[in-house]
Structure 1
Amino acid sequence: MSLKAQVRTDSLGNITVHMEGGLDFENSMPFRRELSSLMTENPLSTITLDLNRLDFVGSSGIGVFVETIKILNDKKKQIKIANVKTEFMKVFKLFEFDAMETMIMEFENDDTENLNLKFGNRRNTFQN
């Protein structure tokens, strides 16, 4: 299975790597080298790994992936992950990797901000 990655840079210089396909042992080491060079070339940028389109992660591939993030994030917390599927979170736990430390939580459509205006002042809201 192949791994594809699209690298995008935002206006602040932060980098998002959109990963697609599968991560296995065969492509995890080249990924480590590319990520390491990306960090070296952009030492002040936050690098976010978007795992949304990642379909498959082999056990040996995830081991190298977790090790890569731990090693590269050791000195400074430059690498973040986003859009992690539930099944991958379970695998991360097996490798004693606290993905929550590196996760970016984005809530673009946060409709909870004005709930008090909608429902807080009503009486008997359970009937509405």
Structure 2
Amino acid sequence: MKSFSKIKSLSKKQFKSNLKLPVIFTVISLILSSIDNATENGSLIAGLLLIVVSIYSANLYLNIVKYNEVKDINIPGNKFLRAIGFSFLNTILIFGVTTVLLFVSAIISNDNIITFLFL
């Protein structure tokens, strides 16, 4: 088993040779995320672009780990559609669980649910 210092030095070497593209994707993700969070209801376009950039950046980071270099950032169509579908499914599930928890907490606290939702 490699020591922590050897793994760290190997990671630094790999990162220095593959620095440009991961930094660009990270900066774009941060900018889109801040635009999405800065607006009151969130920007739909920024949110959708953030999903696409996140898929590409995850694929980029996985390629760096797997091949020790930036091989290709292209994603096959079926893999890309599955990733988008999973992202939407994840969003729907999180929204559903949050909604259920809000209703349960309103019922437990004996408040009027309509008043609770519109405050």
Structure with bigger helix share is: 2
Larger radius of gyration: 2
Shorter-normalised TM range: under 0.3
* TM-score for the superposition, normalised by structure 1: 0.24
* TM-score for the superposition, normalised by structure 2: 0.25
Structure number with greater CO (CA < 8 Å, separation at least 6) is 1
Structure with bigger strand share is: 1
